[in-house]
Amino acid sequence: MSKALKLGVAGLGTVGIDALKLIALHGERFASRTGCAVEIGGVSARNRRKNREIDISSYEWFDDPVALAESQDIDVFVELIGGEDGVAKASVEAALRAGKHVVTANKALLAHHGIELARLADAKGVALSFEAAVAGGIPAIKTIRESLLANNITRVYGILNGTCNYILTQMQKEGRAFDEVLQEAQDAGYAEADPTFDIGGYDTAHKLAILTTLAFGVETSIDTVYVEGIESISLADIEAADDLGYRIKLLGVALLTESGIEQRVHPTMVPKNTAIAEVDGVTNCVAFDGNFVGDILLIGPGAGGGPTASAVISDVLDIAKGRISPPFAWRTEDLKPYERARMRSHEGGYYIRLKVFDRTGAFAAIAGRMAEHGISLESIVQRRPAAALPGLDARGDDGAPLPVVMITHETTEAAIRAALKAIEDEGNVQERPRMIRIEKL
């Protein structure tokens, strides 16, 4: 057997501790699977004395993760600190410059600086691996980098944030309020330190930007991702979607179009009879449309210590086997500049919810504005007012506005935005129209 592969683990939160546990538990198996033992050459975290689930006193301790990254006693630097800049970036750069392999779960770092780090890794002939950065335990990165390598991928999309999916699932299944459910996801340790990264869609955007580079061979472009979070999704939308045969999911979608690549994160209506609609709770999924393989959907745990540690160690074991792939599946020097398709040219169906004043001609005017913008309606449903009291009829004869839900046939984002602005300006609706995109599956 060759000499042991020594890891420096920086960041001892849930994932770091589970990674150490995994090595302690399965170390012998790793040696027989890779021909190389895996050992810990040092650890680093913010607080040495914190009460942890396991005893770390036998590992060499480093107060400074950069010193660990440069230590002679390690071959692989495992970065589990998090954050797009600061000490995470400094220590990863230090490790690569020192010729160490790097394994990281840091999606924000990769989305913002992945290409420059990949260039550094290439220059040193070392690995930069990040299976854990996207969808936790789901082998999404290896699927593109290995199993689907022969294909041209035309779309990659998925439910990439467990916290949002948990919130939407609880709202839909239990009729519970947004804030209460968010607190639960935070208590369970799924949410980011700042949960606005989850609910605002930014965490999904980071993961999507990484997938885009892997799938399409273009430079990572986080700043051009169109992002809408789930903050404005109401129980009224969830109920209306249900009645119309849809579920609402926060999707990240990267799509190859004739005018460039669309990268978008937004609440999305998916038909109830699709597998993705059944992906509930903190579970994630990642889907690929490949020109030869067809459509692939991977479903599994997207967050949490065990699944994320499993992905981290799978990268370590690749290195133990001597398998070093280009970080983003294409030779870094071959990555093309990102060509952005404008959101205004996005094509698809739309769900629209309006609160229409009960006036003669209001419906006709709304239908007229849609027609003027070339938008054809698949269905239009007048829903009972959400706050209707028993005995009140479906028209809401207390003078309250009438909730109306429309589903459009395929149209463009530019047309829908213009039509909704015209409807709002005309004054027949009580509040700004709600719009949710429908993804073709």
The one-letter code for the residue type at 99 is G
Query: Which of 19, 38, 191, 419 contacts ligand HSE by CB under 6 A?
Result: 191
Question: SS3 for 438?
Answer: strand
H/E stretch holding 124 reads helix 107-124
Query: Which of 30, 157, 178, 190 contacts ligand HSE by CB under 6 A?
Result: 190
Window 336-355: residues binding ligand HSE (CB under 6 A) = none
Specify whether the CB–CB gap between 320 and 34 falls below 8 A.
Answer: yes
E strand spans, 258-314: 260-271, 283-290, 294-301
- Judged by CB, which is closer to ligand HSE: 75, or 131? 131
Tell me the per-residue interface mask from 130 to 159 with ligand HSE, x by CB under 6 A, - otherwise. Answer: ------x-----------------------
- Judged by CB, which is closer to ligand HSE: 38, or 181? 181
The nearest distance, CB 302 to ligand HSE, in angstroms, is 5
- Residue whose tokens read 């699977």: 33
Query: Which of 131, 198, 237, 262 contacts ligand HSE by CB under 6 A?
Result: 198
DSSP string, 10-57: E--SHHHHHHHHHHHHHHHHHHHHHSEEEEEEEEE-S-TTS--SS--T
Window 201-260: residues binding ligand HSE (CB under 6 A) = 203
- Judged by CB, which is closer to ligand HSE: 271, or 281? 281
Longest dimension (CA), the chain: 84
162 touches ligand HSE by CB under 6 A: yes
302 touches ligand HSE by CB under 6 A: yes
Catalytic annotation present for 207: yes
Q: Which two tokens stand for residue 360?
A: 């003669």
Count the neighbouring beta carbons within 10 Å of the beta carbon of residue 292: 8
The nearest distance, CB 342 to ligand HSE, in angstroms, is 28
Which residue, 90, 233, 104, 89, is CA-closest to 167? 233
Query: Which of 161, 212, 268, 428 contacts ligand HSE by CB under 6 A?
Result: 161
Question: SS3 for 198?
Answer: helix
Tell me which of 107, 207, 249, 355 is the catalytic residue: 207
303 touches ligand HSE by CB under 6 A: yes
Pairing type for strands 246-257 and 260-271 reads antiparallel
The nearest distance, CB 312 to ligand HSE, in angstroms, is 12
Give catalytic residue positions.
207
Site residues (vs ligand HSE, CB under 6 A) = 136, 161-163, 190-192, 198, 203, 302-303
